[in-house]
């Protein structure tokens, strides 16, 4: 028995690293305010939910919108979720509502200039946000669905060049990737 135990230990050590490796996230979509369309929000029939999300945000001192949207299927159920820019400031950063169409409800609010939706092994996609602090730097923050709401985790300060490779776009002004292919609810 003593000989089997070290053999089992060596096997466990050799197999464990392979099991703990995570697969890289697959980017589903990357977008900014410029990618949002009023027609998409209308077609999703979520104007009232968008206005309610804006009211719950309160007065942020920024320009209010809640009149346009981007569609991305976060849970691969065939019905895309709706990202609505609620309020946007002068530095490109917006507060976005994430609304579910299938069972109309608010899934959370995310602050960002650029949003990148990334598929991992989790049932719901991760939302990676980039908030711009100046022309050259900002913060990346991943959001994951937790207890029915998207919640942010650790903020990481980055330069734009570091962020752009993770977001999959070269300019924070016009960064609409694959979101345009999902224009119908």
pLDDT digits (tens, 9 = 90+) for 116-172: 999 989 999 999 999 999 889 999 999 999 999 999 999 999 999 999 989 988 776
In a domain, 11, yes or no: no
In a domain, 31, yes or no: yes
pLDDT at residue 170 in the model? 76
In the three-class reduction of DSSP (H, G, I as helix; E, B as strand; rest coil), residue 102 is classed as coil
Long-range contacts (CB closer than 8 Å, 24 or more residues apart) made by 149-155: 149/106, 149/107, 149/108, 150/98, 150/107, 150/108, 150/109, 150/110, 151/108, 152/110
Q: What pTM, to 2 d.p., does this model score?
A: 0.81
In a domain, 45, yes or no: yes
In a domain, 2, yes or no: no
- H or E element, residue 2: none
In a domain, 5, yes or no: no
Confidence of residue 24 (pLDDT cuts 50, 70, 90): low
- Owning domain of residue 151: 24-181
The structural domain count of the chain equals 1
In a domain, 13, yes or no: no
């Amino acid at each position: 028995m003593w000989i089997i135990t070290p053999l089992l230990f060596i096997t466990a050590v050799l197999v464990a690293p392979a099991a703990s490796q995570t697969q890289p996230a697959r980017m589903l979509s990357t977008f900014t305010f410029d990618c949002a369309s009023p027609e998409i929000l209308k077609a999703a029939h979520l104007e009232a939910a968008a206005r309610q999300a804006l009211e719950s945000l309160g007065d942020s001192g920024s320009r209010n919108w809640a009149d346009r949207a981007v569609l991305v299927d976060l849970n691969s159920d065939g019905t895309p979720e709706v990202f609505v820019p609620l309020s946007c400031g002068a530095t490109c950063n917006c507060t976005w509502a994430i609304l579910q169409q299938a069972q109309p409800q608010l899934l959370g609010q995310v602050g960002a200039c650029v949003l990148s939706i990334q598929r991992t092994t989790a049932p719901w996609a991760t939302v990676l946000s980039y908030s711009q602090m100046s022309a050259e730097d900002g913060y990346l923050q991943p959001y994951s669905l937790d207890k029915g709401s998207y919640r942010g985790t650790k903020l990481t300060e980055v330069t734009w060049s570091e962020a752009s490779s993770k977001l999959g776009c070269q300019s924070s002004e016009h960064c609409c990737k694959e979101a345009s292919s999902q224009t119908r609810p």
